[in-house]
Every structure is written in structure tokens, then in C-alpha cells.
Amino acid sequence: MDIHLARAWVHTIAVTLDEQKDRLTRLDSAIGDADHGTNLHRGFTAAAATLPLLEADTAGAVLIRTGATLVSKVGGAAGPLYGDAFRAIGQALDTPSAPPRQLAEALAAGQAAVEKLGAATPGDKTVIDAWAPGVAAFRDRTDGGADLAEAARAAADAAEEGMRATIPLQARRGRASYLGTRSIGHQDPGATSTALIFRALADAAAAR
């Protein structure tokens, strides 16, 4: 992960959310506030817009700025969750260029930040149900010597599998938990946006 890829990742997320915001909103309308797509689209669009003016000397600086923008621009729970995640990732990438194993640990730091703030664990039907398998797959591939592009692709696949696995779950955290058994049968919007973020990393890495 270098400064160029960090910028490309955020830009790719913003483009992806522009394409997927309506889908995320539909998912959120079933078990949430129906604002997940619009909120994240606004936040990442704003984050991407700040980066051309940012004189970053590390990849982490790009992602810390992104996290700070998300906290200030995104309403509801998503702003603090994703904002803290990206700031934690950025803080772990305090060099101009980081090898894949360092990025694996940075993604794990992002997961830890989400778990701390949201008090969620795998199986709760949240962001973590996509983030945890994504991190595990990325770490597994990098431990085996894979390059960043291959590891990111595996992480995106795993995150998407985790996303789909939320459908039969009953929500135990967040607004969806208020629905009880009525949350069963719906794909979690947070897990879906997380899978999109991991796929954006894979797409940005593949385009290098």
C-alpha cells in the first residue's frame, strides 16, 4: 500500500457507492433507517474530494483524512464506525509504502476499531460479518506470500461471502436488532457496504 493506492482506494469506493447507493438504501429500508446508501455516498464523495489538496507523505495520512471526513460528514452510526476504522487503518500505515503484511495488520486494526465502538462480533448481523472474513482471508494470503492484488481479491470474495451469510441471521446489534426475528431474511446493509469497500480495494490494486 502506497500513497497512490490509498488515494485510488478511496476514489474507487466513492465511485462504487455512487453506483450502489440506491441498492444500499433499499437494503437499509427493510431493517434500518433507509439512509445507509445516501449517507455513505455523501461521506466518501466528500473524502475523495479532499484528497487532491492533501499533501500526504504516507499512505496512512490519506486514510486518516478519509476517516476524519467520514466522521464529520456521515450521519447515524456509519460515520463513527467507518471513520474510526479508516483512521485506525491509517495510523497503522505510517510509511510512504507498506508491504502486504503490514496492510493486513492495518485492516485488522480497522476491524478492532469497529468492534470496540459497535460492540459487535461475527454473527451479530453487522459490518463485522463481512469485515472479519475479509481480514482473515487477506492475512491468510499474505502469510502465504501472495501479493497485494491477490490478497485483496481473496479478501473481497470472503467479505462478500460473509455479507450473504447475514441473510438468515437475526440482528443482535444496531437498529435492526429492534426488529427481532423480523430481521431474519434480510441482507445486512452494513455488511454489504463493507464488502463493497473490500471489493474497491481489490479493484484499485488490480488497476495498478
Which pLDDT tens digits describe the chain residue by residue (208 residues)?
999 999 999 999 999 999 999 999 999 999 888 889 999 999 999 999 999 989 999 999 999 999 999 999 887 788 899 999 999 999 999 999 999 999 999 999 999 999 999 889 999 999 999 999 999 999 999 999 999 999 999 999 999 999 999 999 999 988 888 889 988 999 999 999 999 999 999 999 999 8
Residue 35 C-alpha cell reads as: 439512509
- Which CATH superfamily includes the segment(s) 3-206? DhaL domain (1.25.40.340)
Taking the CA atoms of residue 84, residue 88, residue 89 and residue 90 in that order, the dihedral angle to the nearest 10 degrees is 100
Distance in angstroms (rounded) separating the CA atoms of residues 115 and 111: 6
Would you say how long the chain is, in residues? 208
Domain boundaries, the chain: 3-206
Whole-model pTM? 0.96
Distance in angstroms (rounded) separating the CA atoms of residues 95 and 3: 9
* 97 φ, ψ (degrees, to nearest 5): -145, 130
